[in-house]
Chains A and B, each alone.
Chain A
Amino acid sequence: MSALIDYTLHLADNSLILGQRNGEWCGHGPILEQDIAITNISLDLIGQARSLYQYAAVLINDSELSVSSKASSPLERRFGGEVSEDSLAYLRTEREFKNCLLVEQSNGDWAQTILRQFLFSSYQYYLYQYLQTNTDTTIAAIAEKSLKEVSYHLRWSSEWVIRLGDGTGESHGRMLKAIDELWRYTGEFFIPADYEKELKIDGASLKYEWSKKIKTVFDEATLTVPPDIFMQEGGKQGRHTEQLGYILTELQYMQRAYPGCEW
């Protein structure tokens, strides 16, 4: 049960943190249509996160764990009762977030935001396809529902990678810089955490399709897939880059300043 809770939180955290990052573009997009596009993607991602947090909350509240070790778990102590989608998003600390490192990386320029979205949407696309047939029917249903949205994100971000990569000298150069910055965070997708192993979620099997997709789009964008380099990992286990702290400071500001406030 606890593996399923961890995995559900991992999926939810991926969506919430990327949604929050993209949301920072609100009112700052390069042109109005793309400002609307990136924030619409945020909305989809936060919607997915909500479904997943709601499910995680049910699992936590129903689990024996919450009854027996209520007093000893810092999570439960802080919540002082029932866990909800809000408490999971607003009251957990950095080490409790299980998102991949890629999604917490800063927006940088438009090229970096686009590349981050493309690398992640293509991963999410194959992951949700795979999860659609998961034995856990709730996870399968959320994956099936979200896949339609993710396909749209993937298409949009692929087109932008090509437009920038095969664009001007300036835009091409910025894409190269973005690849330099972000590629090292993609290896983690395919290294299973303990909870994935326990659930027999075979993320490594997605690597082939994902790499093929990246190569197809990069080829058309006149970009080169980097050779094997050292890959950062740890996000799935709660070991994050310094970026996540800043995101949570903003995301959780109201709950930190006015604990328990509602509006």
Chain B
Amino acid sequence: MVGSEEKEMKTSVIDKKALYAYLEEIKDPEIPVLSVVDMGIIRDIKLNDDELEVIITSTYTGCPAMDMIAANIRVELATLGFQKVKVTQSISPPWTTDWISEDGKRKLKEYGIAPPNPKQQVCNDKLFAADEAVQCPRCNSWHTHRISEFGSTACKALYQCNDCKEPFDYFKCH
């Protein structure tokens, strides 16, 4: 127990809040308006002796942006003077869209991507069930329809607005 108390004390030496503020600078390569903090993929920051450990989680297992994000975190922290930085991945508990911050959801919408609904409305396994009602990020109409379950990245589906006719990405509820 003594060991863990010591660890606690050391962790308290780093100012997590300040570190999170720096990590705000690192954007998701696929969605450059969102920071890794907005995405909710930073699980924890720890100080192990003289090494800083940043624990991240992936949105989808195959997300190709993860390696780049990890590299960018190392670079950002190195420029702040942290010489030993380790970025580790943790997959449990699995990431869900609930981890995206409110600020993040607002930024998504401004960028033209419909943010994930707070709660998945169509969650039964009935086939050909009704499409989820998704609000058009441009004209705010709810009169939209799904074009494809799969979009430009693993985390998005393709929709189109019936009113303004704009096609748009929807960040799938996950």
Contact = CB atoms under 8 A, between A and B. Distances in A.
A33 B151 CA distance: 8
Given A37-B149, A154-B125, 19 more contacts: A33-B147, A37-B148, A43-B154, A44-B154, A47-B63, A47-B154, A137-B92, A141-B92, A142-B61, A145-B91, A145-B94, A148-B94, A149-B60, A149-B61, A152-B149, A159-B127, A162-B127, A162-B128, A217-B127
A145 B91 CA distance: 7
Contacts of A141: 91-92, 94
B174 A156 contact: no
B61 A40 contact: no
Contact of A36 (B64, B148, B174): B148
A76 interface: no
Contact of B62 (A50, A142, A159, A162): A50
Contacts of A144: 92-94
A94 to B, nearest CB: 24
A151 B94 contact: no
A48 interface: yes
Contacts of A114: none
Interface of B: 58, 60-64, 91-94, 125, 127-128, 147-152, 154, 158, 174
Contact of B60 (A47, A159, A217): A47
Which range holds the interface residue count of chain A?
Answer: 20 to 34
A152 B149 CA distance: 9
B127 A220 contact: yes
A43 B151 contact: no
A56 interface: no
Interface of A: 33-34, 36-37, 40-41, 43-48, 50-51, 137, 140-142, 144-146, 148-149, 151-152, 154-156, 158-159, 162, 217, 220
Nearest to A217: B127
A250 to B, nearest CB: 19
Contacts of B148: 33-34, 36-37
A247 B170 CA distance: 34
Given A47-B63, A51-B61, A149-B61, A155 B94 contact: no
A159 B92 CA distance: 30
16 contacts: A36-B148, A40-B154, A43-B64, A43-B154, A47-B62, A47-B154, A50-B62, A141-B91, A145-B61, A145-B94, A151-B125, A152-B149, A155-B125, A155-B149, A156-B149, A162-B128
Contacts of A47: 58, 60-63, 154
B91 A142 contact: yes
Count chain A CB atoms within 10 A of each CB in B62, B64, B149, B154 and give the residue with the most. B62
A149 B127 CA distance: 16
A34 B150 CA distance: 8
B150 to A, nearest CB: 4
Nearest to A161: B127
Contact of A37 (B60, B91, B150, B152): B150
Nearest to A152: B149
A11 to B, nearest CB: 12
Contacts of B147: 33
